[in-house]
Every structure is written in structure tokens, then in C-alpha cells.
Amino acid sequence: MNAPVPGPQSADLLRRVRAWNVSAWRHADRIAQTRSALQRLADLAGAHDGLSRPAVPDAGVHALADQLHVLVDDALGSGAPAGEVEDILADLATALGGAQNRSRGHSGR
């Protein structure tokens, strides 16, 4: 069974952060905001598949985009509603300085 894929705005966010260099990540509080989103995604996955997940490790700034991709896939694969994953990514996009369309009708919180 294949997990749903992120919507176009989230796919754009994932593409953008993959292209960032270390100095782009160090702008404002992007690292902390992304780590918070990573943990929210891990917690969401655990809530939906019942599997306990440890705290998301700090693998370094160079790994943040990869961790984000993996944890989005994990959350979607766990059975978490795509709208809840999208909400986390939209919150992250806003925190990172990119507006996302929040009128999808998902509140999930």
C-alpha cells in the first residue's frame, strides 16, 4: 500500500528546503522550527500506528531536509490523515517565511 503524497504546496516546501545550504538554514530560527515540525510529524505517526518513536535525533543541519522527507513519508504511511500532515507542513512553511494556502479546510488541531 502506497502512502498519499503531499499536496502541491507541501511538495514545493520539501523541494525548497532540499536546495538550502547551511547558511540558509541558519537564518532566523529555521533550524529550531524545522526540528519542532520533525517531532510533531513523528508524534503524529506514533499516534496513528501505535508504535512508540524516540525523540527525533539531531543529525545536523545538513540532514534536516532529508529528515523532513522521511518523517512526512512515515506519518503518511502510519495512516495519519494527509490533512494533518499538510497542516504541520503549512505551519512550518509559515515559520520559515513562505506562505501556504491554509484554506484547504483542514484544521486537525
46-56 tens-digit pLDDT:
999 999 989 99
Which domain range does residue 87 map to? 13-96
Per the domain annotation, does 53 fall within a domain? yes
Q: Which residues of 77-100 are buried (b: 16+ CB within 10 A; e: fewer)?
A: ebebebebbbbbbbbbbebbeeeb
Tens digits of residue pLDDT in 56-85: 999 999 999 999 999 999 999 999 999 999
Per the domain annotation, does 27 fall within a domain? yes
Q: Into how many domains does the chain fold? A: 1
Contact in structure between 3 and 11 (CB atoms under 8 Å)? no
Per the domain annotation, does 108 fall within a domain? no
Per the domain annotation, does 64 fall within a domain? yes
Per the domain annotation, does 69 fall within a domain? yes
Model pTM above 0.75: yes
